[in-house]
């Protein structure tokens, strides 16, 4: 552990840049993944058997494949993808697919938790099914799903470290690994990376718990 502080002081700008890349990667994956997840969640509840079946298959396939496997398939398995897209873009695509599959189940649970009376009230007012879904079910369902979605966002942020295996822009773990390979202070730089990850995930976890408690009181 000798020299950890010195290694951080000497390289803090590069390490923080890597942390920002990780945050940017997670934000983009969550943004696109939540849109995909909502579409899949609605699809799994569709009254059309074909649409429902396709959505369920996509969700189960996405949930069954580890994020690292999805990343490797996209970057190395698909023709010319590794040459066409950077590791950053590939990681965003892979994490978006993983996010979509997992958040679809989370949001489906939220949508199904909306009281049936709310839907019946919309029908009594003459609202169309699309309007009820858009104006009644989705807003309330997403509000219910906020705490678990926040918890999953933390997991996706941590999963950005998987980009280490495909190259491209240097996110935090790749940056730490590069610095460690130059100085052979592997423990020091990986410890620093762990602390930087924790500086994001611990406050985020605490915020998630507070939101969950508050939402629980509100729903009661």
Position 143 confidence tier, pLDDT thresholds 50, 70, 90: confident
| pTM of the predicted structure, to 2 decimals | 0.87
**Per-residue confidence (pLDDT) for residue 31, from 0 to 100:** 96
Which one, of 202, 209, 107, lies nearest residue 158 by Cα?
Answer: 202
Give the Cα separation of 145 and 7 in Å (integer).
41
Mean per-residue pLDDT for 60-67?
90
133-137, 141-145, 154-158: segment of lowest average pLDDT: 133-137
Q: Tens digits of per-residue pLDDT, 66-119?
A: 888 988 888 887 776 656 777 788 889 999 999 999 999 999 988 888 888 877
Spatial neighbors of 75 by CB under 8 A, at least 6 apart, are: 81, 82, 85, 87, 90, 94, 166
pLDDT by residue (tens digit) across 14-55?
999 999 999 999 999 999 999 999 999 999 988 889 999 999
Place of tokens 């990986």: 190
Predicted confidence at residue 23, as pLDDT, reads 94
CA gap 6, 26 in Å, rounded: 29
Tally of CB atoms within 10 A around 151: 16
Say if CB 172 and CB 18 are below 8 A apart: yes
Architecture of the 4-219 domain: Orthogonal Bundle (1.10)
Residues 155-205 pLDDT 10s:
999 999 988 877 656 889 989 988 988 888 889 999 999 999 999 999 999
Mean pLDDT of the chain: 86
Q: Report how far residue 170's alpha carbon sits from residue 181's, in angstroms, rounded to the nearest whole number.
A: 14
Question: In this predicted structure, what is the pLDDT of residue 202?
Answer: 93
């Amino acid at each position: 552990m000798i020299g950890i502080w010195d290694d951080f002081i000497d390289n803090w700008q590069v390490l923080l840049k890597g942390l920002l890349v990780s945050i940017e990667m997670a934000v983009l994956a969550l943004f696109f993944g939540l849109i995909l997840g909502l579409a899949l969640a609605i699809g799994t509840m569709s009254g059309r058997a074909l649409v429902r079946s396709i959505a369920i298959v996509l969700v189960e396939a996405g949930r069954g494949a580890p994020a690292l496997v999805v990343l490797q398939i996209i970057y190395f398995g698909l023709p010319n993808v590794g040459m066409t897209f950077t590791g950053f873009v590939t990681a965003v695509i892979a994490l978006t697919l993983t996010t979509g599959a997992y958040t679809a189940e989370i949001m489906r649970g939220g949508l199904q938790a909306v009281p049936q009376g709310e839907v019946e009230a919309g029908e009594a007012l003459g609202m169309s099914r699309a309007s009820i879904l858009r104006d009644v079910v989705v807003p309330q369902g997403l509000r219910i799903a906020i705490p678990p979605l926040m918890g999953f966002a933390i997991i996706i942020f941590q999963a950005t470290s998987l980009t280490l295996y495909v190259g491209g822009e240097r996110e935090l773990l790749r940056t730490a690994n590069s610095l460690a390979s130059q100085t052979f202070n592997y423990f020091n730089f990986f410890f620093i990376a762990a602390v930087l990850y924790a500086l994001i995930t611990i406050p985020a976890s605490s915020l998630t718990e507070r939101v969950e408690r508050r939402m629980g009181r509100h729903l009661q």
